[in-house]
Amino acid sequence: MVAHDLPKRCLSPNPLDRGKTSPWNFAKSSPLSSPGPPSECSSARQEPGYCLLLALGRVLVFSIFQVNRLNNEGYYGGVRLLMAVCKVFYNYCRDNKIDLQGGNFTLSYDTNIPRQSGLSGSSAIVCAALNCLLDFYNVRHLIKVEVRPNLVLNAEKELGIVAGLQDRVAQVYGGLVYMDFSKNYMDDLGHGIYTPMEINLLPPLHLIYAENPSDSGKVHSSVRKRWLDGDKFIISSMEEVANLPLEGRAALLENNYTKFADLMNRNFDLRRAMFGDDVLGALNLKMVEVARSVGAAAKFTGSGGAVVAFCPDGASQAKLLEEACHEAGFVIQPIRSCSFLSKRD
């Protein structure tokens, strides 16, 4: 059994996950989480190569790949994410009287989502694992799709990861999703209202990121404190950010891509004004500046680490963007997107 999930891209992310937003996923990179057939013992194993070796002959070969992975990701990697989602899934089913029938399983993962690039790689692993659990226990029809982003988020909260629902909604639904996190919905339903949109409404987009990020803006941000303290500039800017998806949705429905590009740029400009250059980080700023140097619209995919760019002048401008990114040492890829929902959902 294999489940894939994708990194999220956000058209209009809100730093506090409030209001409305329109994220989407793309199908270039995907983590994999795979419960295997029933075995004598249940386990969550850290390295996919290690799992294969165990299955083939119980022989451990410590490869250079594994050493490099430990150097980059530490000793925990994603195995703690798998353990957390198993716990959250079990507790939810127990509390909602969902009977789990089935044998034991193994659970492993692999991912090619770039690290430290603001593409929600951790929650993608959790979401893929959740999909495997839903199918392994045949309970997909018993756990509403609107609830699943909460389960993913709760698994990450188990590990002290501070996050919001936006990315998890994008990864559960896939494709292009309009989200409304209005307070009355969150209070009454426990989740927002999520409306899938036709993916062909999107123009051609590109993802830009640094292959080996060393600067993602390490200065502590005071924006949250200023919001809680009632800072008028922060509050008014947040309100404008929350309204951008309303305009963005209308622009997409009307095929008004000039307006769409303006809104992308406005989103980044508001974030920069609120957080400041020291918080955003020089590398993040450079990615946006490179894109804008050829006239492309550009903004962060989330809180930084990667940039989504749109070339309103078409293929010739996209070619200039690719050349500028390569010259600056950035990776650039065209974005492909797909929905994850099926009739069972």
Residues serving a catalytic function are 167
Radius of gyration of the chain from its Cα atoms, rounded to whole angstroms: 21
Spatial CB neighbours of 29, under 8 Å, sequence gap ≥ 6? 6, 7, 111, 112, 113, 114, 119
Spatial CB neighbours of 82, under 8 Å, sequence gap ≥ 6? 33, 44, 107, 109, 125, 126, 129
Angle between helices 257-275 and 232-253 (to 10 degrees): 160
Measured between alpha carbons, how far is 155 from 136 in angstroms, rounded to an integer?
18
Residue 192 burial (CB count, 10 A): 22
Measured between alpha carbons, how far is 271 from 23 in angstroms, rounded to an integer?
17
SS3 at position 195: strand
Angle between helices 79-95 and 148-158 (to 10 degrees): 130
Measured between alpha carbons, how far is 280 from 273 in angstroms, rounded to an integer?
10
Query: Burial, 309: exposed, middle or buried (Cβ in 10 Å; 0-12, 13-18, 19+)?
Result: buried
- The values of phi and psi at residue 210, to 5°, are -90, 130
In 3D space, the residue among 299, 233, 304, 290 whose CA is nearest the CA of residue 262 turns out to be 299
